[in-house]
Amino acid sequence: MAEGPTITPVILSGGAGTRLWPMSRESFPKQFLPLASEQSMLQQTALRVATSDGFAPPIVVCNVDHRFMVAEQLRTIDIDPRAIVLEPVGRNTAPAAAIAALMLAEKDPGALLLLPSDHIVADKAGFLAAIDTAKSAATAGEMITFGVKPERAETGYGYIHRGSELNSQQGVFRVSEFVEKPNSATAEKYLSGGLHDWNSGMFLFAAETYLNEIERLEPKIIASCREAIEKAVGDLDFLRLDPESFSASPAKSIDYAVMEHTDKAAVVPVEIGWNDVGSWTALWDIGDGDDDGNVVHGDVLSLDCAGSYIRTDGPLVAALGIQDLVLVAMDDCVLVTPRDRAQDVKAVVDE
Amino acid sequence: MAEGPTITPVILSGGAGTRLWPMSRESFPKQFLPLASEQSMLQQTALRVATSDGFAPPIVVCNVDHRFMVAEQLRTIDIDPRAIVLEPVGRNTAPAAAIAALMLAEKDPGALLLLPSDHIVADKAGFLAAIDTAKSAATAGEMITFGVKPERAETGYGYIHRGSELNSQQGVFRVSEFVEKPNSATAEKYLSGGLHDWNSGMFLFAAETYLNEIERLEPKIIASCREAIEKAVGDLDFLRLDPESFSASPAKSIDYAVMEHTDKAAVVPVEIGWNDVGSWTALWDIGDGDDDGNVVHGDVLSLDCAGSYIRTDGPLVAALGIQDLVLVAMDDCVLVTPRDRAQDVKAVVDE
């Protein structure tokens, strides 16, 4: 990585991953699960930025209930975080990022925050190169998102409409518009048009840029976060935000609170093997399939099966002649659904 | 039931039911499972003949390992068997029937044996009427099988080619030929021809008729069985056949050892809601389906499913959008297969 200011990774570990039920649960969300490799998504994310020059130790923001899981998972991979910040309740990403920005700005308002998102990134070198591209723009006050080149007409993601390239910043483009999840005809248009990228949920910006913008756009968020830090209780391992103050913050995403309204939004288009592992189908996509396109994990006996994701962390699973199914078995529950319905697992969990 | 000699039901409880894995196992075969109702197939079979006039208490022949299960299941339904005969090893149905025939012939060579088979019979009155039809022919020395009118071009059953009606016995027909499991074109011909019935595995004959025929056709079987009874050890509850003698018997079915070779074979055609519950598809067939054709049993959450058999005796099962599948879950294993592949579950068990 080229010279420049040190970047602090801010890992927001607050998701629920309900579409990965039954493995992912409220008490054990997907980011803590070794879904795609021997390491959890949290561990993979931390390692992605920890083992390169130019990165400071990460700040992790998580729910208070998950503190030991986070601490243990980082300990296992020999990462000593700058802080593990504990949220008493989830308030989406904008307040969590504000907390990290406030912590960093105290010593260095120009400090850069990288929100790497706890997703799969197959091409780590490409990822680091993209951050390198983004770095000087972020230092200059831009708020950088990373736009993933679409591989299909996905209707489950938000899109970023790419505008013109910044004058002095090769590879960094003005954001013309953030678009919500499109319908399938619109998604097809985006795919063929070539001007829309998937919103990956990864960001790079300076602490003071983010704080200025959120102060202007969401004063209630920043006020709550300031108070939550002032009244926070710290010990050797954790920083516990003040429950009352933090709970008073509006719950908004970084996109919704800031990015969609600021004129500083810029995008670095990337092709880095990004996958949000949002559903079992995504795990089938990235898994090592056999000759018949089955991705199998655990004690599975399969015969004449094709195109299926079969996983067990409990009972023996015998699959005979199934096609394009997802089957996930645990000791206390079993999920079965066609691969193209795996997006709807949330509906089952809600029941 | 009309007047006549008393009939002793002989329930051969020796099957394995591997196609009903994972519920049916070596240690707990299908006849002991409450698959289609609150009662097991053994209990349903025993009750079918126990609560009507004209039937003596049953003789049950089972594997020695299943003795307590048989005894307990009969006790629960208040049936006091004439004997529970314990086989040291399975030798198919011909020797088991010979044992029962020898036991009955000792006091009354003309005693009638009914082998009711541990299958589903929805129409009990029709079943009893068919036995009534068969009774005098059996007393006159015929060996009666019951031929089930085919409902489909089934390739999994043997068929009975019906000959001419016996002169003095209305509703009883000479067997023209027993045919092995046909291919699908032949099965179609049988179905449209109207002269072929499914071989239900139910029999009615006099003890001496069977003994004479098996003595003539399979002298080794009868010799082994005689010795196995002579050297048997009896206690209050069980008759334990002599292991060495019984093991020496050839393993053959009643059909193969006797019926296919004797000129005394006759058939009574029946339509009595017979189902051999040979596979999960059969249980789907006879189960109470919902509006979308799903038969569901246990702690199952189903959404947008159709034509499926979903059963759990262990973990919660969540099924989303599946079609025409069989899913059977237990604490230690899970089976999933399309409904039309359920016949092949044996292949999985063999693995």
| CB A283, CB A277: distance < 8 Å | yes
Amino acid A119: pLDDT? 84
d(CA B64, CA A189): 71
Which of A315, A334, A337 shows the shortest C-beta gap to B332? A315
Please say if the pLDDT value at position B3 is more than 80.
no
* pLDDT > 80? residue B4: no
How does pLDDT run across B221-248, given as a tens digit for each residue?
Answer: 999 999 999 999 998 789 999 999 999 9
The whole-angstrom distance between B338's CA and the closest CA on chain A is: 6
Tell me the helices (H) and strands (E) count for chain B, helix number first: 11, 19
Which pLDDT tens digit goes with each residue over B21-73?
Answer: 888 877 778 888 888 788 999 999 999 988 678 899 999 999 998 999 999 99
Nearest CA in chain A to B344: A320
ipTM: 0.78
Residue A3's pLDDT is: 57
Mean pLDDT value of segment B140-155 = 94
For B131, the enclosing helix (H) or strand (E) is: helix B124-139
Contact B331 A329 (CB under 8 A): no
State the smallest CA–CA distance between residue A184 and chain B in angstroms: 21
Q: Could you read off the pLDDT of B104-130 as tens digits, one per residue? A: 999 999 999 999 877 889 899 999 999
Helices (H) and strands (E) in chain A, counts: 11, 19
The answer to whether the CB atoms of A321 and B341 lie below 8 A apart is yes
B334 shares contact with chain A (CB less than 8 Å)? yes
Q: What per-residue confidence (pLDDT) applies to A4?
A: 66
Percent of chain B having pLDDT more than 90?
A: 75
Q: What is the pLDDT of residue A1?
A: 47
Q: How many CB atoms lie within 10 A of CB A170?
A: 9
A329 to chain B, any CB pair closer than 8 A? The answer is yes
The answer to whether the CB atoms of A318 and B331 lie below 8 A apart is no
3-state SS class at A95: helix
The domains found in chain B, sorted by start residue, are: 7-275 (3.90.550.10), 280-350 (no CATH)
The helix (H) or strand (E) run that includes residue A227 is helix A219-230
Q: Chain A closest CA to B154's CA: distance in Å?
A: 20
Q: Whole-angstrom distance between the N-terminal and C-terminal Cα of chain B?
A: 48
Q: How many CB atoms lie within 10 A of CB A268?
A: 26
- The tokens for A260 are 């969609």
DSSP string, B17-71: -GGGTTTSBTTB-GGGS--SSSS-HHHHHHHHHHSSTTBPPPEEEEEGGGHHHHH
User: Which contacts (CB < 8 Å, 24+ apart) does range A285-292 have?
Assistant: A286/A36, A286/A120, A286/A122, A287/A36
Q: E strands of chain B, at which residues? A: 7-13, 59-63, 83-87, 112-115, 120-121, 143-148, 159-165, 173-179, 196-206, 233-234, 238-240, 265-270, 274-275, 295-297, 300-303, 309-312, 316-320, 325-329, 333-338
Q: What is the pLDDT of residue B1?
A: 46
Give per-residue pLDDT as tens, A45-71.
Answer: 999 988 678 899 999 999 998 999 999
- pTM assigned to the model: 0.78
State the pLDDT at residue B18.
77
pLDDT above 50 for B2:
no
Burial A299-323 (b: 16+ CB within 10 A, else e): ebbbbebbbbbbbbebbbbbbbbbe
pLDDT band at B172 (very low <50, low <70, confident <90, very high): very high
Q: Which pair of structure tokens corresponds to residue A4? A: 């420049």
Nearest to A336 among B327, B332, B344 (CB): B327
Instruction: Tell me the pLDDT band of B347, cut-offs 50, 70 and 90.
Output: confident
* Nearest chain B Cα distance for residue A298, angstroms: 12
Q: Answer yes or no: do B348 and A22 touch at CB < 8 A.
A: no
Contact assignment for B303 to A332 by CB distance below 8 Å: no
Q: Could you tell me if B332 lies within 8 Å of chain A, comparing CB atoms?
A: yes
List of residues 6+ apart from B348 with CB closer than 8 A: A301, A303, A318, A320, B21, B335
pLDDT for A94-146, tens place per residue?
Answer: 999 999 999 999 999 999 999 987 788 989 999 999 999 999 999 999 999 99
Backbone angles phi, psi at B10, to 5 degrees: -120, 105
B246 membership: H or E segment, kind and range: helix B243-247
pLDDT above 70 as % of chain A: 98
From A12-26, A181-195, B188-202, B309-323, the region with the lowest mean pLDDT: A12-26
Question: Mean pLDDT, chain B, as a whole number?
Answer: 92
Instruction: Say yes or no: B335 contacts chain A, CB-CB below 8 A.
Output: yes
Does any CB of chain A come closer than 8 Å to the CB of residue B329? yes
Edge to edge, the sheet with strand B333-338 lists A300-303, A316-320, B333-338, B325-329, B309-312, B295-297
Contacts of B348 in chain A (CB under 8 A): 301, 303, 318, 320
Interface test with A, best of B296, B333, B341, B343 (most A CBs within 10 A): B333
Rounded Cα distance between B205 and B209, Å, is 7
- Write down the pLDDT at residue A305: 96
Q: Check residues A311 and B351 and name the one with the higher pLDDT.
A: A311
Nearest residue in A to B325, CA atom: A322
User: Has residue B96 got a pLDDT over 50?
Assistant: yes
Find the residue in A nearest to B335 (Cα): A318
Q: How far apart are CA B83 and CA B234, in angstroms?
A: 10
For residue A345, the chain B residue with the least C-alpha distance is B320
CB of A231 within 8 Å of a chain B CB? The answer is: no
Quick one: which of A72, A29, A78, A23 has its CA closest to A329? A23
DSSP single-letter state for residue B12: E
Q: Which residues of B touch A332 (CB under 8 A)?
A: 315-316
Q: Which residues of chain A have pLDDT under 50?
A: 1-2
- What tokens does B1 get? 């039931």
- To the nearest 10 degrees (0 to 180), the angle between helices A93-105 and A219-230 is 60
CB B207 within 8 A of CB B108: yes
Is A330 in the B-facing interface, judged by CB distances under 8 Å?
yes
How many interchain CB pairs under 8 A, A with B?
A: 114
- CA of A149 vs chain B CAs: smallest distance (Å): 31
Non-local (6+) Cβ contacts of B78 within 8 A are none
